Amino acid sequence: MLIKRKVNLITTLLLFYTISTYHVIVTSATLEPTSKIVEVKNDRYIDEFGRQRFFRGLNVVYKGFPYYPKIDAFDPVTSFTEKDMKILADVNMNVIRLGVLWAGVEPIRGKYNETYLRIIKSIVDKCNLYGIYVLLDSHQDVMSEKFCGEGFPRWAVRTEGAWPFPLPLGLAARYDPITGLPDKRTCGRLNWALLYFSRAANVAWQRLYSNYDGLRDAFAAQWAKIASIFKNSRNLLGYDLLNEPWPGDTYVNPGLWFPKINTRKNLGPFWDAISDKLRKVDNNGIIVYTGVTWDLFGNRYDHVPGGPIYQNRSVFGYHYYKEVRIRPPKFDFKVHIEDLNRTGGASLLTEFEAAYNNGKNLPGLLTIIQAADKYLQSWIGWQYKDFFPLTRQLLGDGLVDPKSGKVRPDVATVFSRTFAEAISGNAISMKFDKKGFNLIYKINPSIKKPTVIKIQEKYHYPNGFIVNISPKGKVEWKKKGNSILINPIRGVNIKNGEVIAVNIVAR
* Residues belonging to the active site: 244
Q: Which residues lie below 8 Å from residue 6, measured CB to CB, with a gap of 6+? A: none
Which amino acid is it at 487?
A: N
C-alpha–C-alpha distance, residues 256 and 160, integer Å = 22
Neighbours of 471 (CB within 10 A): 11
Residue 190 burial (CB count, 10 A): 15
CB 218 within 8 A of CB 109: yes
DSSP letter, residue 62? B
Query: Residues for the chain: how many in total?
Result: 507
Burial class (CB within 10 angstroms; exposed 0-12, middle 13-18, buried 19+) of 78: middle
3-class secondary structure, 287: strand
- Closest to 317 (Cα-Cα) out of 356, 357, 285, 348: 348
Contact 394/73 with Cβ under 8 angstroms? no
Rounded CA-CA distance 367/466 in Å is 26
Task: Name the DSSP class of 353.
Answer: B
Burial class (CB in 10 A: 0-12, 13-18, 19+), 480: exposed
Q: List C-alpha distances in Å: 306 to 45, 113, 278, 303, 412.
A: 19, 28, 10, 8, 39
Distance of CA 446 to the CA centre of its chain: 32
Q: Which amino acid belongs to residue 233?
A: S
Q: CA 59, CA 70: separation in Å to the nearest integer?
A: 15
